[in-house]
Amino acid sequence: MRLLFIVLLFLCSNALAQNIKIVDGDTIHIDKIKYRFHGIDAPEMSQKCLDGNKQINCGVLSKQKLEEKIGKQNVTCKKVTVDRYKRIVAECFVNNESLSKYLVRSGYAFAYRKYSTQFVVDEDYARTNKLGLWKTKFEFPWNYRRKK
């Protein structure tokens, strides 16, 4: 009986496991559904920042911080809208903690004021405390994309 319970528990936990692909600092795919984080903008994967005299891959760094935060945990998302690329624009959570808030407050993404003011206070906190990318010289992602 105990063995049967363990087998059932294993099968149920695997059935609930998500297939999560982290595309960049503000986009994830969960089981083939594409999610773009609402209200934030993270550096592009090709984007560079200057840390003193050293050039760093700030887009890659932002993605890595998101990967570390999610780890092997499940992600839940609350849909806000759908964008022109047919991605679901949503606020996503791990253990009821907003991934958008985490990224902005730790300095690895920015409040995307063009679409929302929800994370402005978190960005102010990161900037004031020189957290994450605020320790570097960077270009906001929306300005970087405009030049491409």
CATH code for the part of the protein at 2-147: 2.40.50.90
Is residue 13 predicted with pLDDT exceeding 50? no
pLDDT bracket for residue 21 (50, 70, 90): very high
pLDDT digits (tens, 9 = 90+) for 25-66: 999 999 999 999 999 999 999 999 999 999 999 999 999 999
Residue 12 has pLDDT above 60, yes or no: no
Q: Rounded mean pLDDT of 11-30?
A: 79
What's the pLDDT score for residue 48?
A: 97
What's the whole-model pTM score? 0.87
Q: What is the pLDDT of residues 71-92, one digit of tens each?
A: 999 999 999 999 998 899 999 9
Inter-residue contact 22 to 63 (CB < 8 Å): yes
| pLDDT given at position 16 | 64
Share of the chain above pLDDT 70, in %: 89
Distance between CA atoms of residues 129 and 36, nearest Å: 27
Beta bridge partners of 96: none
Residue whose entry in the numeric block shows the structure tokens 């891959």:
57
Angle (nearest 5°) at CA 2 between 4 and 73: 75
